[in-house]
Copies of this chain bind each other. A is one copy, B any other.
Amino acid sequence: MTIRDVAALAGVSTATISRVVNRSGYVSPKTRSAVEAVIRQHGYTASRSARGLSSGRTGLIAVTVPRIHPSYFSVIVAGVADALYEHDMRIVLCPTLHEHDREVSLLARLVHGTTDGGVLILPEESPSELRDLMTHGFSFVVIDPRTRIDARVPTVSAANAAGATQAMEHLLALGHRRIAAITGPSALMANKERTRGYNAALAAAGLTPDPELTFESEFDVQGGAIAASALFDLAERPTAIFAFNDQLAIGAMRVALARNLRVPEDLSIVGFDDTSESELLRPALTSVRQPLAEMGRMGVSLLMRLVENRRLEAVHIELATELVIRGSTGPPGPR
């Protein structure tokens, strides 16, 4: 079933079919309904390849993501997919496995004639590579940028600094004064922001950050465990730990329980992300929720404007986080 077949059956030209299908230009109501009848009856759908070749728009959006599986990413992708579906666009999914080369070569190929734009989630590209991409005329947005990038690239992220401050204010209000931070890799902008929020909250409470209490490690359970062990070995133990993601918090909680520290009586723990794991833990984890699906949706909404209007004033959106209080935090014990 090609457009020509439909045209022949309806007794009109292919141009008219195209106009009917795309709701563009003038078509008399009579012709329109006749064509629509033929289309319905024979189940015609336009070939995306042909359309892409002819009009330059493929209806496909590339989505790069380090990995699909960690729920952090899959929830964002779900939000992106949802929003794109509403625009009748499809998503070309590209897991990069954190490999810079893979991502670059993928994008290079997608830019040209495959997709109309891209949503880059935590991309590996350097700021200059992203700038090149932009000057080549590729429309894209970045969700959760790894580093500070060209101001003209639209970005969407969570309010990381504010979220960290929320977590800290909760702990401070409970009476904690020695609050440790287990940060993820400091190269990530999100972590820099969270650190900023951590320090800001301490300062606001009139406390000076103790460098001993900040520990950087990999963003995984293992990293959390290592950091927690080190913190517990300090002469003066912290009474609370703010972990920069839930994985780290899980690791910390494991070590705490292994050392017979009761949570939250002896140690309060706050995570970040509020992944589904956090309410599974016992005690359930207090965590800063990022609006991940929303971030995906918002990215698409920016991208659509970019794709349609061609170019758009710089936009950097930060979506508010929310502190979800569960059983892992409480007032510090009497010591």
Contact = CB atoms under 8 A, between A and B. Distances in A.
A312 interface: no
A214 interface: no
A1 to B, nearest CB: 7
So how many copies of this chain end up in the complex? Answer: 2
B93 A93 contact: yes
A331 to B, nearest CB: 24
A74 interface: yes
Interface in A143-172: none
A114 B75 contact: no
B280 A48 contact: no
Contacts of A108: 43, 45
A91 interface: yes
A109 B21 CA distance: 13
Interface stretch (A9-17, A50-58, A225-233, A265-273): A50-58
Nearest to A52: B49
A306 interface: no
Interface stretch (A23-31, A64-72, A234-242, A318-326): A64-72
Interface string A81-117: 1100100001111110000000000001111111000
A130 B262 CA distance: 55
Contacts of A110: 90
Contacts of A91: 92-94
| Interface magnitude class on chain A | 35 or more
A47 B95 contact: no
B69 A95 contact: no
Given A53-B50, A74-B68, A95 B81 contact: yes
A182 interface: no
Contacts of A47: 52-53, 112-114
A82 B69 CA distance: 12
Contact of A74 (B52, B58, B74, B113): B74
A77 interface: yes
Contacts of A67: 78
A51 B112 CA distance: 12
A14 to B, nearest CB: 15
B82 A95 contact: yes
Interface of A: 1, 43, 45-53, 58, 60, 63, 67-69, 71, 74-75, 77-78, 81-82, 85, 90-95, 108-114, 250, 276-277, 280-282
Shortest 8 CB-CB distances between A and B: which pairs? A47-B113, A49-B52, A48-B114, A49-B53, A93-B93, A74-B74, A68-B78, A45-B109
20 contacts: A47-B112, A47-B113, A49-B50, A53-B53, A67-B78, A68-B74, A69-B71, A69-B74, A69-B75, A71-B74, A77-B93, A81-B93, A81-B95, A90-B93, A90-B110, A90-B114, A92-B93, A250-B280, A276-B277, A280-B280
